[in-house]
Amino acid sequence: MVQQYDPLHYLPTDEDLPSSDDTPVDNELQNLIPNLLLTILATIWDDRQNWFFGVDMGIYYIPEPPYVPIIPDGFLSLGVERRKRGGRGRLSYVLWRENNVVPLLVLETVSETYNGEYDTKMAKYVELGALYYVIYNHSRQRPNHEPFEVYRLEKDRYVKQSGEPFWMPEAGIAIGRGQGTYAAWEREWLYWFDENGNRYPTPDEQAAIAAQQAAHERQLREELLAKLRDRGIDPETL
């Protein structure tokens, strides 16, 4: 019996490839911003298992040596397993191990030291084939560019889009800026929005809303009990 040749068998896995290029981020917001997006997604898509959001993780997309990754600050893939390799998770995002599912969105937060977000990295994301490319110029380091820019891949080039928050029908979600507090830091952040432009709350905000609702319900209950006692009715006998 002749065995069929399986090229995947001979390609490296995430265990074989470096998980990063060992280049540190040059400011803490480069990690905090995408991690906030991941935290919110983990809440609003808690019951879904067909997505993955990577933070500062290498994407291997060229299946030939020297296997050089592109490492966005964040990226979103749909139609892939949310959890792989049990509790250990992915070491990197290897396209040929993900059924060639290309990330729908890649995110770059502009570095203090220019890192090619508007040219060399953009060209690599075109090569990768990511449909949306978001550049967040969070501290206005690049005055010739807008604070928030979204590009869509059209005929092998990125075309700048308009509108904020920007709606992505393929994901059923929008991305944009908003004021808020995260990691005890009040400032402008990137958030997810629904189709009506309503910002999804962070887990901390959800907890605060729940606490307020619980306090309000307790207050209503105490007011009701007080009214019953004023009328000579013992609530315990009801």
pLDDT in tens, 153-196: 999 999 999 999 999 999 999 999 999 989 888 999 999 999 99
Backbone angles phi, psi at 47, to 5 degrees: -90, 5
Greatest extent of the chain over all pairs of C-alpha atoms, in Å: 91
pLDDT in tens, 144-162: 789 999 999 999 999 999 9
- pTM to 2 decimal places: 0.82
Is the model's pLDDT at 2 over the cut of 70? no
Q: Give the residue extent of every domain in the chain.
A: 7-200, 202-238
Q: Domain 7-200 belongs to what topology?
A: tt1808, chain A (3.90.1570)
Residues 6+ positions from 51 with CB-CB distance below 8 Å: 41, 45, 76, 77, 78, 79, 80, 82
Asked if omega into 69 is within 30° of 0 (cis), the reply is no
pLDDT in tens, 211-237: 666 566 677 777 777 787 777 777 777
Does residue 169 sit in helix, strand or coil? coil
